[in-house]
Amino acid sequence: MKTLSKIQYIPTSNGFRCSNRTTRSIFSILAPITTIAGLFFVLLAVPLRAQFAYVANADSGNVSAYSIGSNGVLTPVPGSPFAAGLEPFSVGVDLTAKFVYAANFSGNNISAYSIGSNGALTPIAGSPFAAQEGPVSVAVDPMGKFAYVATKISNNVSAYSIGSNGALTLVSGSPFAAQEGPVSVAIGPSAKFAYVANKISNNISAYSIGSNGALTPIPGSPFAAGIEPFSVAVDPTGKFAYVVNEGDDSVSAYTIGPNGALTPIPGSPFAAGRDPIEVAVDPTAKFVYVANRAGNNVSAYSISSNGALTPVPGSPFAARIEPVSVAITRAVFK
C-alpha cells in the first residue's frame, strides 16, 4: 500500500515536537506543551513526563485518547474514542496543551477539541472548521497562536488563528497558494517561516509568517527538491532544512537564510535508502534520521557544521516491514 508521510520538528519552550504522517492513523503524545502523531506521527518530548497520547484513526473517523502511565503504559481515557470527521489523517496539539486539532482528509475540515483534565476531548463550539480539499497535514506554530493545514488536492495551505477557546478563524488572505501536491508542512523554531513539501511539483514552498499568521512567499520560492519530496523538517536551531525525496531515494539539505530562503548545501542531495518517506532531526541538532519504507531500514546521519550529512557507522539500521515514521525524544520521561 502506498503511504503518505510527513515529518516536522518544532522546538517549544519545554521541548521539541516531531510530527510524522502516513495515511492510516496518527499517534500524538501530549506533554505539558504539545504533540501530535500517528501513522501520521508527531512527538513532543519534554523533560517532564508526558500525560496523554492521541491517535487519529482514519478508517473509523475518530480520535483515540490515552493517559500515559509512569511506565509508559497507555490507558484509554473515559469516552475514548472521540468522533472526528471523515478520514482524519493528522492530529496536532497547541502549545498550551489545551486543544487538539484533527485534519479530516475526506471531510475537508478540521475537528477541534478542548482537552479535559483527564485527557478527554470535548468538541469546541463551531467545530468542525472548514478547510480546503484534501487536508493531510496540520501543524501548530511554536507560539501556539496559529495552525497551518496543507491541503493536497486544493494545492494550498490554510492558516488559522487560534482563539482563547481553541476556535479556528481563517487569517486574512487564507488559503495561500502552494505548488502541486502539498503533503507536509513544517514551522521553523522562530515561528517566522513555514515550509511545505510539494510531492507532485518536486519542490518546497517557503513562506514568511506575518504577525497575523498570514503567509507570504519568500523570494525564490518554490525551491527545487528531488523527485517526489514527501517530508520536510527544520532543525532545532533554525539553520537547516531537510527534505526526503521518495522518488529518487535521497535527502535534500538546505541552509536557511535570514529571510527564510533555502540554499542547497554542498553535496546535497545525500543518498538515502529505498523509498525514503520521513525525515526527523534530533533535538540536539546533531543527527538526522530517515525512515526508508521500501528499504525496511532507517538511515542515520551526523550533521556537520555546514549542515551536510554523513552516514553514521552502521547506517542504515534494520527495521521491520515498511517503516514509515520516525520520532526522537529529547529526554527520558520522569
pLDDT of 48 > 60? The answer is no
Q: Locate 318 and state its grid cell.
A: 534494520
pLDDT digits (tens, 9 = 90+) for 100-132: 999 999 999 999 999 999 999 999 999 999 999
Would you say residue 69 lies in a domain?
Answer: yes
Would you say residue 232 lies in a domain?
Answer: yes
Would you say residue 326 lies in a domain?
Answer: no
Would you say residue 330 lies in a domain?
Answer: no
Would you say residue 245 lies in a domain?
Answer: yes
pLDDT digits (tens, 9 = 90+) for 152-210: 999 999 999 999 999 999 999 999 999 999 998 889 888 999 999 999 999 999 999 99
SS3 state at 171: coil
Residue 211's pLDDT is: 94
Would you say residue 324 lies in a domain?
Answer: no
What is the DSSP pairing of strand 182-187 with strand 168-170?
Answer: unpaired
Would you say residue 1 lies in a domain?
Answer: no
Would you say residue 334 lies in a domain?
Answer: no
What is the DSSP pairing of strand 182-187 with strand 176-177?
Answer: unpaired
Domain membership of residue 294 as a residue range: 7-318
Domain count, the chain: 1
* Whole-number Å distance between alpha carbons of 5 and 18: 13
Q: What is the CATH number of the domain that holds 21?
A: 2.130.10.10
